Amino acid sequence: MLDPGKLRGDFPALSLTFHGKSLVYLDNAATTQKPYPVIRAVKEFYEKKYANVGRGIYDLALAATNAYEEARRVVAGFIGARPEELIFTSNTTNSINLAAYSLLASGLLDRGKNIVTSLMEHHSNLLPWYRVAAASGAELRLAGVDGKGRLLMDELEKMVDENTAVVAVSHVSNVTGVVNPVAEICRVAHEKGALCLVDGAQSVPHLPVRVGEIGADFLAFSGHKMMGPMGIGGLYVRSDVLEKLAPPFVGGGTVRDVEINGDVEPLWTKPPHRFEAGTPNVAGAVGLAEAVRYLSRVGPGNVEAHEKKLVEALLEGLRDLNAVIYGPEDPDERSGIVTFNLRGMAPHDLAALLSDEAIAVRSGLFCAAPLMKKLGGESGAVRASFYLYNTVEEVERLLEVLGKVEGMMNF
């Protein structure tokens, strides 16, 4: 089992104090803290290997290029992909937009086609599909959720038909922590000849994820949510799909040559570089690779089990308070996310009181307004989200402060 006490010393931010109290960082669904090995890897790249990649033949440029492609190999291997199937992007949002606009640029979306997603999606896996549907004339279909935020699979299955171009779903909800049966969803899509995109922003950092096992054609994820730097992410695309796609964003690095014969005739590079226009975030890729190495040493399965213990402790404590819990109350149905409200208190006010106690949580609609409205949280909520360095003691401290707040409300 994972011992967070042995890991916490690797994360400098966890030693910070605010208002005279030690930081309790519970906003990991938004972004995660960085360990020293990641910080050192980025620093070392800028000090010893910094140059542009894929362009120069001098030693420093070759060192930078080798570091970038080694990072691709490491990150791709973490999700069970081949290096040539991984496109480096800036984050999950960028990855999903890249997938959506690649399908549009390739003529795979048009009037008569439909796109299936769901009401539980983060805006980043809803709005790109809304935009490309509007641009192509395709129909956008939204599968519903039940009162606990669980995807209505029978409804989704009925929406997927022979005219479905792509099914796009989150692996883990960033609001409820609900884990979707993505392997089953991909199977449903493939039976009708559709592609399947999985939003892995909240799964790749927290669960063992292997693209071959879930059967995804696309998998999008962010580096900063898994201890890597901000500004780096990944889009896995299955190789046979990738070969058929045209790049929606073009320029330097996407072509081998350009000929002018009365018209512009670009000769595209092979994937994945065809989809990485311009100078990439090489330092970010190097840092993400180091984060992946760190996470691999800890073990994604251990992270998952550790977070379930923390979720169970928090849910049990919230039941003793006058709290509204969003999502299933069974910790086995969740990843490391618990969203709640104290009855009678505005979520932003509660988050501010917790901040006064150096407890960092998120409050609001979590970029998932349709889901929050469906769950009755149209005014927002408070979210505590865990990672490998969080402890049961931190959960107890959160519950203690919540108890004090409730006591003040009832005075």
CA atoms within 13 A on the CB side of 12: 6
**pTM for the full predicted model:** 0.97
Q: Two tokens at 123? A: 């805006």
* Mean pLDDT within 39-55: 97
CA distance 140 to 34: 38
Q: Two tokens at 77? A: 């291997």
- 410, pLDDT greater than 80: no
Q: Two tokens at 385? A: 């989200």
Domains of the chain: 4-26+299-409 (3.90.1150.10), 38-296 (3.40.640.10)
Q: What is the pLDDT of residues 335-347, one digit of tens each?
A: 999 999 999 999 9
Q: What distances in angstroms separate CA 163 from CA 24, 131, 190, 191, 194, one per listed residue?
A: 49, 18, 12, 12, 8
Model confidence band, residue 411 (pLDDT cutoffs 50, 70, 90): low
**CB contact burial 190-229 (16+ within 10 A = b; e otherwise):** eeeebbbbbbbbbbbbbbbbebeebbbbbbbbbbbbbbbb
CA distance 2 to 223: 21
Residue pair 159/141 in contact (Cβ under 8 Å)? The answer is: yes
Q: What is the pLDDT of residues 367-408, one digit of tens each?
A: 999 999 999 999 999 999 999 999 999 999 999 999 999 998
In this prediction, residue 44 carries a pLDDT of 98
Model confidence band, residue 264 (pLDDT cutoffs 50, 70, 90): confident
Active site (catalytic) residues? 367
Three-class secondary structure assignment of 260-319: ECCCEEEEECCCCHHHCCCCCCHHHHHHHHHHHHHHHHHCHHHHHHHHHHHHHHHHHHHC
Q: Two tokens at 252? A: 């330097």
